[in-house]
Structure 1
């Protein structure tokens, strides 16, 4: 029997000041495969361990099929975990490793039939009488999965089970996990920092940052309609292009987005999305363009909704099935903080920039004034004050004076047949239907929350 899992405003504190998970709310349907995704240290494994009962919940509530289970011991929750490090008993054969939880549940039953059925499902019948030390990493992980499957639990909890394997084997086992969980129909919560695993496995993806849930959507939606600048930057390979920009909305002229040395004129009449940008007139914003939203073509080849810019070729990456071209367009790139590293430890009373000390205003300060003093976080965030409101999103730019000579700010995906010389000036077309705009707090303001880029809704 598969089960529904609900977490309601779950918080996990370590000591008095370390907030690992902050008011996490998520409902998982019976049989659903949900992936917890985020950078190292974001709290995703802590959430998994709270579901399993291996960590106490500081505040909030965990429900299984609508019933509170905070007081249930791990063994009473009918869940099976698969860990990153296999966790097999080295002195037992693989047959005994798979059958061990069955013997613990009911020592009087013979587990052989279920062990062999599980081994056939995973394709490991011929290694049952070997020991874990005699197996490859992929085989050991199959045995670890077999031990979880043999119990026929109501939920699978997987904590980065493929991260210790090489890339080719990860891809193979990823397909096996997808097939296995689909056949069994068991509710699965899967933790990973690898977006490729998340996008290929999950029915839904829950993205975390600093212990806070950022967005829960299907893989298609987290890519197409990211809720904020962090999600947009974390999802997608190559990473989304993020450029500092300004909105120009003159009363007697065409509205445009200024990318420092070039402009993106917005088509008239303005779409409902682009009309939202009027209130950003004169303000600093961040423009997001995925690599497929820009193509190499002349203005004469423009399709409806495309506007021309140009770029200087800095570098080409040949990927076999495609090529990635790095351009310098004279724009100023914005780099989202904390994509690959945990944020500073959160405290119960959040820190927030004082009025008038916004991140973007700090971008415009001379480099010397930022380097003159203050902590690293102060130099990025500006002065802070203690308030009880959530901390805004923070991003930082790569340099004080814009792109350095020879620096690229735009990556474009193109055909592998395209050959360009370094230093060549190349015409580009930007598809405004796939343009993202974020405000100074990191919130997406374009497209509107109910609009999916490129689709009519």
Structure 2
């Protein structure tokens, strides 16, 4: 048996502090794998604990299969929870840890068959007679999951179960969790701050910021159509490029996005999405471009829908299978607040004072500021791979602080300070208003379509 969970205007307040969870409404279908995603301290674990009955609900309603459950005791909710810190009994063997919920449920029942079956599912049959202290982190987490699975609950609640495990093992356990929950068909609510986990595990992802639900939907939908600039910045690796801009649309002229030292022309005739940008004429906007929406290429190599820009290489991050090139385009970067949540008491985080540079640091800064960047590496250089854009000489433009992250093949090497031509795919361009709401691509309600 599996359960549907419904939260309607649920809030949680601790004393006089701001609400840790603020009027959250969310429906979780029976058998669904839902991920609660957000930065540390945003309230996602509090939501999980209210579902489990470990935290009292200040306002709103929690319903399980339509039945009001605000005051239902935790033991009557038929839920199993997996914690971040394993929470195993150190004086019990792993066999006894897995079988403990069965012992509490029915002391006279033979627990052996169910414990053995659970251990086989998790691949830990050979460590059942050891103690938790004798296991690795991954094995202990499997035992903790086994304790939850052995009960055969109607709901799994997982509170960042993989955050204390090394990266390689985390990927393995991630796939095992997905496979197990789908085989069992159990409703699962999974809390994480890792967007890679959320995108790979969840049937749907609910993004939370400061206790407020920002967006909920399938991983592909949230990535492709983020409702606001926070969701766009939080989802995706590397993080989306966000720069400040203005919509420039004089009468009887084409529309452009002013990015500071450069303008991004929008092709005529304007699409419906781009026509709606006229509402933002003269207002500050935030322009978003994911790394796959920009590539290095000459204007003559542009594909339909691509427009040119110019940039200067600021840094290159070699990844092995690809390189991430940070290109300065002379724009002001847009800073998204609360990518890390505010303090629990509502006060802003204090910024650490930057240490004053010493004599050598000041001299280095002056030297770097007065020294022009090196030219593009020539194609015949014996030290560097071939660079097809070595002869590109764009019109001189002053370059500021705005950077774009561009994916390139690992064989393409670009020196720091080199000027490069860029091609921007307007089909993957996002525009957000000054409040951070997405205005392009236009939401369905602005286009008059059914949501």
Residue 288 of structure 1 aligns to a residue whose secondary structure is: strand
Report the counterpart of residue 424 of structure 1 in structure 2: 418
Inter-partner Cα distance in structure 1 for 2:53 and 2:85:
19
Note the residue ranges of structure 2 that are not aligned, 5 or more in a row: 351-397, 446-450
Residue 417 of structure 1 aligns to a residue whose secondary structure is: coil
Structure-2 change in CA distance of 1:31 and 1:303 (3 Å): same
Following TM superposition, by how much is the alpha carbon of 1:414 offset from its aligned partner in structure 2, in angstroms? 1.7
Report the counterpart of residue 109 of structure 2 in structure 1: 109
Residue 257 of structure 1 aligns to a residue whose secondary structure is: strand
Work out whether residues 243 and 402 of structure 2, in 8 Å CA contact, stay in contact via their aligned partners in 1: no
Inter-partner Cα distance in structure 1 for 2:79 and 2:101:
12
Inter-partner Cα distance in structure 2 for 1:445 and 1:310:
25
Residue 423 of structure 2 aligns to a residue whose secondary structure is: strand
Report the counterpart of residue 78 of structure 2 in structure 1: 78
- The reply on whether 1:274 has 2:274 as its aligned counterpart is yes
Note the residue ranges of structure 1 that are not aligned, 5 or more in a row: 348-374, 378-403, 452-456
State the Cα deviation string for residues 74-110 of structure 1 (Å, max 9, x = none): 1110000000000000000000000000000011101
Report the counterpart of residue 203 of structure 1 in structure 2: 203
- The reply on whether 1:256 has 2:250 as its aligned counterpart is no
- The reply on whether 1:40 has 2:37 as its aligned counterpart is no
Following TM superposition, by how much is the alpha carbon of 1:345 offset from its aligned partner in structure 2, in angstroms? 4.0
Residue 86 of structure 2 aligns to a residue whose secondary structure is: coil
Report the counterpart of residue 302 of structure 2 in structure 1: 302
Aligned 1:439-450 pairs, distance under 5 A = 439-450=433-444
Following TM superposition, by how much is the alpha carbon of 1:343 offset from its aligned partner in structure 2, in angstroms? 5.5
- CA-based RMSD of the aligned residues comes to 1.7
Structure-2 change in CA distance of 1:343 and 1:292 (3 Å): farther
TM-score, normalisation: structure 1: 0.85
Following TM superposition, by how much is the alpha carbon of 1:346 offset from its aligned partner in structure 2, in angstroms? 5.1
Residue 333 of structure 1 aligns to a residue whose secondary structure is: coil
Aligned 1:36-435 pairs, distance under 5 A = 36-342=36-342, 345=345, 407=401, 409-435=403-429
Inter-partner Cα distance in structure 1 for 2:198 and 2:118:
25
Inter-partner Cα distance in structure 2 for 1:165 and 1:376:
28
TM-score, normalisation: structure 2: 0.86
Larger Rg, first or second structure (1 or 2): 2
Residue 238 of structure 1 aligns to a residue whose secondary structure is: coil
Provide the aligned length of Structure 1 versus Structure 2: 399
Inter-partner Cα distance in structure 1 for 2:411 and 2:61:
55
State the Cα deviation string for residues 339-366 of structure 1 (Å, max 9, x = none): 123366459xxxxxxxxxxxxxxxxxxx
Work out whether residues 34 and 203 of structure 1, in 8 Å CA contact, stay in contact via their aligned partners in 2: yes
Q: Which moved more, 1:413-422 or 1:249-258?
A: 413-422
Inter-partner Cα distance in structure 2 for 1:280 and 1:143:
55
